[in-house]
Structure 1
Amino acid sequence: MTGKRPGPRLPAEQLAIAWQSASLLLDYPDEELAFRLDLIQRLSGQLPFPVGEPLRRTVARLGAIALPLAQREYVECFDSRRRTNLYLTYFAHGDTRRRGVALLRFKQTYLRSGYVLDDTELPDHLCVVLEYAATVDQRLGWRLLLDHRAGLELLRLALADADSPWLGAVEAVTGTLPPLVGDELTAVRRLAAEGPPREEVGLTPYAVPPMPGARR
């Protein structure tokens, strides 16, 4: 994308609520899920309809199924499908050597804000990125999301095709971002047609599984 990038349209407080809520919804469902759903339902009322309504849809769908079923569906959705994984660099680079460089850039961005990840977590996991953007550095978090706008859009489209309960959480994130234009639209069309690259190589210094999995 060329030219100056647009800034956020929502105030900082609403961005923080939207991104943190989406991060909680997209994390692996555990025994605290019911509490998180209640919290997000209440906080979503502070957001404009195009952002709050998708969050409430995901809250309603997850609240309507038993926790063991939610856990099974989560694993099936995010652990076994190339187009519905939560690792942002995977969409652009797949399991190629270039992905290692992209992961390093994420980590360097976090370090600029004094944010140090646990060694067990990859820095491009969408839940990690959203939490960082919501609670640590909105400006740099915004840039990371825009850098991977095409991947986010492919994830949204793939979740829609699968009628996934988690679709609304991703729709809320993309709802905080500018509309797709120019090179971004081209990138989305290419990703939709081809999918992530398939070449598999070592990704030192990160140990990356062949198929992206859930943060747990």
Structure 2
Amino acid sequence: MIDKEMLQFLSILLQYPKSSWLEINQLRTLASRLEHLPKKENVYTFLDYLDHRSCEELAAEYVDTFDFSEHCNLYITSLLCPDDRKRGQVLADLKAIYLQAGLEVATEELPDYLPLLLEFLAIANQESCNQVLEIVGPGMDKLWQQLKEKHSPYATLLEVCVESTVPVACVKTVHIGGDLS
């Protein structure tokens, strides 16, 4: 079973760094409230990383990690779909799952944006989570591997994401969108 509060917390940590959420003591308090936090040490390692950098340094690292690398970006299907038409269909499938689950995305982000995916997983029912994770699970794992290769501090958060959602994604579900490659 997915820890919904943990996914919401990870969604916050994987967004563009803003001074409004960088109050480290509040983040540590939130982390300490998550009873079933897998890989708790990873989250605290990342919080230590945040604590020792300015908002400007964090923003620069974030942009360097996710915006200037085609292999490490937070739009998960872009890591899986080299064909734009197939990716477009997968994005439409994700959006349909969101709508079917009752989530109307009130953002300009694409439905495969990892923080948005985590927010969805935090509120969706098990069936919807399974559908989404079957589509994006391999991309989350690929992103984690790429971040590990770069020795990015964000790799610790992706490890938590992957290890928290893999058991759920292994449940047999109907795959929407077909083969991604």
Query: Could you state the TM-score of these two structures normalised by the residue count of structure 2?
Result: 0.82
- 1:17 & 1:40 partners in 2: Cα distance? 13
- What's the % identity of the aligned pairs? 27
Task: In structure 2, give the amino acid aligned to 1:52.
Answer: K
Q: Deviations over 1:126-165 (max 9, x none)?
A: 1001011113445413431232222111111111111212
**Alignment-derived partner of residue 156 in structure 1:** 144
Contact kept, 8 Å, 2:97 with 2:131, in 1: the verdict is no
Distance 1:178 1:107, change over 3 A: closer
Q: Distance in 2 between matches of 1:129 and 1:49?
A: 18
Q: Are the equivalent residues in 1 in contact too, given 2:147–2:154 (CA < 8 A)?
A: yes
Distance 1:62 1:48 in 2: 22
> d(CA) in 2 for partners of 1:135 and 1:122?
18
* 1:12-91 aligned within 5 A: 15-35=3-23, 37-45=24-32, 46-48=34-36, 50-91=38-79
Matches of 1:71 and 1:85, distance apart in 2: 14
Among 97, 100, 121, which residue is 2:109 paired with? 121
**Is the 8 Å Cα contact of residues 18 and 47 (structure 1) preserved in structure 2?**
no
**Equivalent of 1:99 in 76, 84, 87:** 87
CA separation of 1:136 and 1:150: change in aligned 2, threshold 3 A? closer
Equivalent residues of 1:18, 1:52 under 8 A apart: no
Q: Are 1:17 and 1:43, in contact at CA under 8 Å, matched by a contact in 2?
A: no
Greater mean alpha carbon deviation, residues 63-72 or residues 156-165? 156-165
Contact 1:88 1:124 in 2 (8 A): yes
2:55 alignment partner AA: L
149-158 or 48-57, which moves further after superposition?
48-57
Q: 1:156-207: per-residue Cα shift (whole Å, max 9, x none)?
A: 111111121212211111121336xx9xxxxxxxxxxxxx97xxxxxxxxxx
Structure ranking higher on relative contact order (CA contacts 8 Å, 6+ apart): 1
Q: CA RMSD in A?
A: 2.4
Which amino acid letter does the alignment assign opposite residue 88 of structure 2?
Answer: G
Cα deviation 1:39-84 (Å, max 9, x = unaligned): 4422333344643221221111112111101001101100111221
- In 1, the alpha carbon distance for the partners of 2:75 and 2:41 equals 25
Contact 1:88 1:125 in 2 (8 A): yes
Tell whether 2:168 aligns with 1:176: no
Q: Distance in 2 between matches of 1:44 and 1:83?
A: 29
Q: Secondary structure at the match of 1:69?
A: helix
Evaluate the alpha carbon distance shift between residue 121 and residue 173 of structure 1 in structure 2; reply closer, same or farther with a 3 A threshold: same
Paired residues, number: 170
- Of residues 140, 165, 170, the one that matches 2:153 is 165
- Structure 1 counterpart of 2:119, one-letter code: E
Closer, same or farther: CA 133–49 of 1 in aligned 2, 3 Å: closer
